Amino acid sequence: MSRNDDRVIIFDTTLRDGEQSPGASMTRDEKLRIAKQLEKLRVDVIEAGFAIASPGDFESVKTIADTIKDSTVCSLSRALDADIDRAGEALRGANSGRIHTFIATSPIHMQYKLQMEPDQVVENAVRAVTRARNLIDDVEFSLEDASRSELDFMCRIIEKVIDAGARTINIPDTVGYAVPQEYGNTIAQLIQRIPNADKAVFSVHCHNDLGLAVANSLAAVSAGARQVECTINGLGERAGNASLEEIVMALRTRQDVLGLTTGIDTTQIVPASRLVSSVTGFPVQPNKAIVGANAFAHESGIHQDGVLKHRETYEIMTAEDVGWNTNRMVLGKLSGRNAFRTRMEELGTSFASDAELNTAFARFKELADKKSEIFDDDLVALVSDARASAGHEKYRLSSLNVTSQTGETPVASLVVSVDGEEHSVESSGSGPVDAAFKALEQVAQSGSNLQLYSVNAITSGTDSQGEVTVRLEKAGRIVNGLGADTDIIIASAKAYIHALNMLDANIQKAHPQV
C-alpha cells in the first residue's frame, strides 16, 4: 500500500498496549472476546499481545491468531531472536499474521537502557527484521522513543530495515512528548529524505501524556503516515494511547479537510467501547468524546431548541453513526434460553459449554426478577460478572446483611466461603461499603491496599445495575476486581472478592517493557 492512498490502516493495540494500564490485565478468553468484537469493528490489524512475555500471553496471541480471519493478527517482539521466534510460533495458524519488532533509537534510551552504540542498534534492528521476514511475510519495525530521536539517525536505520524487508515503519511518540506541528513535520521529513520510503507504510503510535495523542496522530496522517496505532477508549499505560473512536470519527467527520478514509464499521464503536470497559473495569468518563454517556446529550435549552429544529445546528455526527442505537431493550423475564443465547451471540459473546450458558442464563433470570427492562449493556455486564465469578474462586460470598441508618455506625454481617468452608464475620465502617470491605478483610487478611473504588450505572433509572471496580495493590501487583448487581453494596462486595481471588490466583500481567 502506497502512502499516497487515501485509506488509513487502523492498528488496534488494546490487547497489548492497552493491557499495560495498571490492573487492566485480561485473561485469554477475555482477550478473545474483545478480538472478535474488533473483527466486527473491521479493524485492519489487531495487536493481540507480546508472545514471549508470559505463557498466558503466548496462548492469547495463538488463540486469537487461530480464530480471527478478517483482521491481521500481530504480536510484538523486541529485537531479540527468542522474541521473534516465539512471535512466529504464536502466529503460525493466522490467516494473516504480522510480527512487530522494535528497538529504542533515542540517545537517552540507547545510552542508559540499551547501553549500545548507534551502530549496534542498527545492526540489531536489521538482524531482527531479517529474522522476522524469514518467518512471516508481514513485518513491522518500530523506533521506540522516536519523538526524542535524532532525525538523521532515524533516516539511517529506517532505510536499512526497509531494505531488510520491513513493510511498515512505526514512528512512536512513546512518552507523549511531541506536539502536532513538530510531529507532522518529522513524518514528512522522513518520507521525503529516505530513498526507499515508497516501499513501506509509515505508521504512528502516540501516547497521551500531554493530551495530544489524537492531535499528533492526525497531524501525522496529514503528513503522509497511513497507519495509526490506537486503542478502544484510549486505554493504555500512564495517560493512555490515541483513542480509536476519536481518530476514526475525526477522519470520517472531517473528510473535507483530511481527505482520508478507514474501513471501520463505525456502528460497532459503542459496543466495542462497552465491552472493553466491562472487561477491564475502566469506566468511560461521561464527557468522553464519541463514547461517553454525555457525548450526544444536550442540556442547554438553546442547544436543545436548535437540535429539535435542525440536528446539524449542534450535532456534527449522529449517535446512530457510532452504535448508540444498539442499547435497546431486547429481553425480559419470559425470554427463553435460546433467545438469550442468540442475543449474546449477536453481542459478540458465545458460550464454550452448556454449563457456562446455564450459569449465565440463571443470572439473567435473577436479574429479570429484579429489573423489568433489560438492555444490551445489562447483558454484557451480566456475562462479565458471571465469568469473573467462574474463574479461580478461593473466596465466595454466601450472604450479606448491612444495616445503615442516620446517626448510627453502619455494620456489615457477611458469610464468606473460603475454599468451601464458611466463615461468619461482622464489621463496622464509615459507610456500608467500607463496613463490607473491612469484614471481607477480616476473613482474607490479604495485606493489600485499596487503590480505586469506582461505581458506574450501566443503564439509566434507579433499578439500573451498578457496575463496581475495585483495584487492589499488594507488593507491587495490581489487580482490578469487577462486580455487577442492582444492589450496589452487593456489587461492591462481589468486586472486592473478585480482586481477592485474582490476587490469590497470582495471575501475572504481561508487560513488554519489562
Handedness of CA 224, 230, 233, 234 (dihedral sign): negative
| 242, 206 contact by CB (below 8 A) | yes
Nearest to 104 by CA among 149, 138, 169, 140: 149
Classified as helix, coil or strand, 266 is helix
DSSP state of 38: H
- Neighbour tally for 308: CB within 10 Å: 10
Nearest to 291 by CA among 276, 313, 311, 310: 276
Place of cell 433509572: 461
Residue environment code for 365-391, b if the CB has 16+ CB neighbours within 10 A, otherwise e: eebbeebebbbbbbbbbbbbbbbbbee
φ, ψ for residue 211, nearest 5 deg: 75, 20
- Which residues does the annotation place in the binding site for Mn(2+)? 17, 205, 207, 241
Helix (H) / strand (E) containing 124:
helix 118-135
* Cell triple for 461: 433509572
- Which residues does the annotation place in the binding site? 17, 205, 207, 241
